[in-house]
Chain A
Amino acid sequence: MGDLTERTMDVKETRYKLTLCDGTACIHNHSKAVQQALETELDKHGLKDSVSIHLSGCLGMCTKGPILIVNPGYIMYGRVQVEDVPEIVESHLVNNKAVTRLIITEDHLYNRFFRIFGDVDFFGKQMRIALRNCGIIDPENIDNYLSLRGYEALAKALETMTPGQVIEEVKKSGLRGRGGAGFPTGLKWEFTANQDSDEKYVICNADEGDPGAFMDRSAIEGDPHTVLEGMMIGGYAIGAGKGIIYIRAEYPLAIKRLEKAIASAREHGLLGENILGSDFAFDIEIRLGAGAFVCGEETALIHSIEGHRGMPRPRPPYPSVKGLFGKPTLINNVETWANIPVILLDGADWFNTVGTETSKGTKVFAVAGRVQNTGLVEVPMGTTLREIIYDICGGIPNGKRFKAVQTGGPSGGCLPEHYLDTEIDYESLAKAGSIMGSGGMIVIDEDSCMVSLARFFLEFTQDESCGKCTPCREGTKRMYEILTRITEGQGQPGDIEKLQRLGEMIKHSSLCGLGQSAPNPVLSTIENFREEYEEHIQDKKCRAGQCTALLSYTINDKCVGCGACKRVCPVNAIEGVRKEKHRILQEVCIRCGQCYEVCKFDAITKA
Chain B
Amino acid sequence: MSQMITITINGKDYRVEPNQTVMQAADTLGFKIPRLCYHPKLSIEGACRVCIVEVEGQRNFVASCAFPVSDGMKIKTNTHALRRARRDIVELIIDNHPMDCHTCERDGNCELQRLAASMGIRARHFAGERKRYEEDLSSEAVIRNPEKCILCGRCVRMCSEIQQVHNLTQAHRGFQTVVMPAYDLPMAESVCTACGQCINVCPTAAFVEKNYTQELFEQLNDPERVKVVQFAPSVRAAIGEAFGLPIGQNMEGQLIAALRKLGFDYVFDTQFGADLTIMEEANEFLERLQNKGTLPMITSCSSAWMKCLEQFYPDLIDNVSTCKSPMSMQGAMIKTYFADKMGIDPTKICSAAAMCCTAKKYEAERPELMFDGMRGVDVVVTTREIAWMIKSAGIDFVNIQPEKADHPLGLSSGAGAIFGATGGVMEAAIRTAYELYTGQTLVDIEVEGVRGLKGIKEGSLTMDGQEIRVAVAHGLGNACKLLEVVRQDPQRYHFIEIMGCPGGCVGGGGQPYAAINTIPLDDKALKKRAQALYDLDRGKTIRRSHDNPDVQKLYKEFLQHPLSSVSHKYLHTHYKAKLPKGIIPKEAKKIEVTQ
User: Interface residues, chain A, CB within 8 Å of chain B?
Assistant: 292, 309, 313-314, 316, 462-471, 473-475, 477-478, 481, 498, 501-502, 505, 507-511, 516
CB < 8 Å neighbour of A314 from B46, B88, B153, B177: B46
* Residues of chain A lying within 8 A (CB to CB) of residue B61: 508-509
**Known interface pairs A467-B151, A470-B89, A474-B175; A511-B170 also in contact (CB < 8 Å):** no
Shortest beta-carbon distance from A142 to chain B in Å? 39
Closest to A497 in B: B125
Secondary structure at the B interface, as helix, strand, loop or mixed, is loop
Considering only residues 84-101 of chain B, those with a C-beta below 8 Å from chain A are 84-85, 88-89, 92-93, 95-96
Would you call B175 and A481 a contact (CB within 8 A)? no
Would you call A469 and B175 a contact (CB within 8 A)? no
Flag whether B343 is at the interface (Cβ < 8 A).
no
* Residues of chain B lying within 8 A (CB to CB) of residue A474: 92-93, 95-96, 175
* Residues of chain B lying within 8 A (CB to CB) of residue A511: 46-47, 49, 63
Given contacts A465-B175, A470-B50, 6 further A-B contacts (CB under 8 A): A462-B175, A464-B174, A474-B92, A501-B88, A508-B61, A510-B49
Secondary structure at the A interface, as helix, strand, loop or mixed, is helix
* Residues of chain B lying within 8 A (CB to CB) of residue A481: 128-129
Flag whether B366 is at the interface (Cβ < 8 A).
no
Nearest first, the 7 A-B pairs at minimum CB distance are A314-B66, A314-B46, A467-B177, A474-B92, A465-B174, A481-B128, A478-B126
Assembled-state Cα–Cα distance A510/B96 (Å): 18
Closest to B63 in A: A314
Flag whether B176 is at the interface (Cβ < 8 A).
yes
Q: Which of A470, A477, A478 has its CB near the most chain B CB atoms (within 10 A)?
A: A470
* Residues of chain B lying within 8 A (CB to CB) of residue A508: 60-61, 81, 85
* Residues of chain B lying within 8 A (CB to CB) of residue A475: 88, 92, 126
Assembled-state Cα–Cα distance A316/B55 (Å): 13
* Residues of chain B lying within 8 A (CB to CB) of residue A463: 174
**Known interface pairs A465-B174, A467-B170, A478-B128; A314-B44 also in contact (CB < 8 Å):** yes
Flag whether B267 is at the interface (Cβ < 8 A).
no
Binary per-residue interface labels of chain B (236-254) against chain A in the complex, 1 for a CB within 8 Å, 0 otherwise: 0000000000000000000
CB < 8 Å neighbour of A292 from B60, B129, B173: B173
Would you call B173 and A465 a contact (CB within 8 A)? yes
Assembled-state Cα–Cα distance A464/B174 (Å): 7
Would you call B47 and A470 a contact (CB within 8 A)? yes
**Known interface pairs A477-B128, A511-B63; A505-B88 also in contact (CB < 8 Å):** yes
Assembled-state Cα–Cα distance A292/B84 (Å): 31
Closest to B176 in A: A467
Assembled-state Cα–Cα distance A241/B423 (Å): 49
Shortest beta-carbon distance from A46 to chain B in Å? 59
Closest to A511 in B: B46
Would you call B48 and A470 a contact (CB within 8 A)? yes
Flag whether B45 is at the interface (Cβ < 8 A).
yes
Q: List 13 A-B contacts (CB under 8 A).
A: A309-B173, A467-B175, A468-B47, A469-B46, A470-B47, A470-B92, A470-B93, A474-B96, A474-B175, A478-B95, A478-B126, A509-B52, A511-B46
Would you call A507 and B60 a contact (CB within 8 A)? yes
Would you call A462 and B68 a contact (CB within 8 A)? no
Flag whether B338 is at the interface (Cβ < 8 A).
no
Would you call A466 and B48 a contact (CB within 8 A)? no
Would you call A471 and B47 a contact (CB within 8 A)? no
Considering only residues 54-98 of chain B, those with a C-beta below 8 Å from chain A are 60-63, 66-68, 81, 84-85, 88-89, 92-93, 95-96
**Known interface pairs A316-B68, A478-B128, A511-B49; A473-B60 also in contact (CB < 8 Å):** no
* Residues of chain B lying within 8 A (CB to CB) of residue A502: 88, 126
Assembled-state Cα–Cα distance A314/B50 (Å): 14
* Residues of chain B lying within 8 A (CB to CB) of residue A465: 173-175
Q: Tell me the number of A-to-B contacts counted with CB atoms below 8 Å.
A: 98
Would you call B49 and A462 a contact (CB within 8 A)? no
CB < 8 Å neighbour of A316 from B50, B67, B85, B125: B67
Assembled-state Cα–Cα distance A509/B81 (Å): 11
Considering only residues 146-195 of chain B, those with a C-beta below 8 Å from chain A are 151, 153, 170, 172-177
Shortest beta-carbon distance from B38 to chain A in Å? 11
Closest to B129 in A: A481
Shortest beta-carbon distance from B575 to chain A in Å? 33
* Residues of chain B lying within 8 A (CB to CB) of residue A510: 49, 60
Would you call A469 and B173 a contact (CB within 8 A)? no
Q: Which of A463, A469, A502 has its CB near the most chain B CB atoms (within 10 A)?
A: A469
Would you call B173 and A505 a contact (CB within 8 A)? no
Shortest beta-carbon distance from B166 to chain A in Å? 13
Assembled-state Cα–Cα distance A463/B177 (Å): 11
Assembled-state Cα–Cα distance A314/B65 (Å): 9
* Residues of chain A lying within 8 A (CB to CB) of residue B129: 477, 481
Would you call A509 and B175 a contact (CB within 8 A)? no
Shortest beta-carbon distance from B82 to chain A in Å? 9
Q: Which of A316, A464, A509 has its CB near the most chain B CB atoms (within 10 A)?
A: A509
CB < 8 Å neighbour of A467 from B66, B88, B173: B173
* Residues of chain B lying within 8 A (CB to CB) of residue A462: 174-175
Would you call A469 and B49 a contact (CB within 8 A)? yes
Shortest beta-carbon distance from B409 to chain A in Å? 51
Shortest beta-carbon distance from A252 to chain B in Å? 24
Assembled-state Cα–Cα distance A469/B173 (Å): 11
**Known interface pairs A314-B66, A473-B175, A505-B88; A309-B170 also in contact (CB < 8 Å):** yes
Assembled-state Cα–Cα distance A379/B588 (Å): 52
Assembled-state Cα–Cα distance A465/B92 (Å): 16
Assembled-state Cα–Cα distance A498/B95 (Å): 15
Closest to B173 in A: A467
* Residues of chain A lying within 8 A (CB to CB) of residue B170: 309, 467
Assembled-state Cα–Cα distance A464/B85 (Å): 23
Closest to B89 in A: A470
Closest to A515 in B: B49
CB < 8 Å neighbour of B126 from A316, A466, A498: A498
Closest to B68 in A: A316
Shortest beta-carbon distance from A478 to chain B in Å? 4
Binary per-residue interface labels of chain B (107-143) against chain A in the complex, 1 for a CB within 8 Å, 0 otherwise: 0000000000000000001101100000000000000
Would you call B63 and A466 a contact (CB within 8 A)? no
* Residues of chain A lying within 8 A (CB to CB) of residue B176: 467
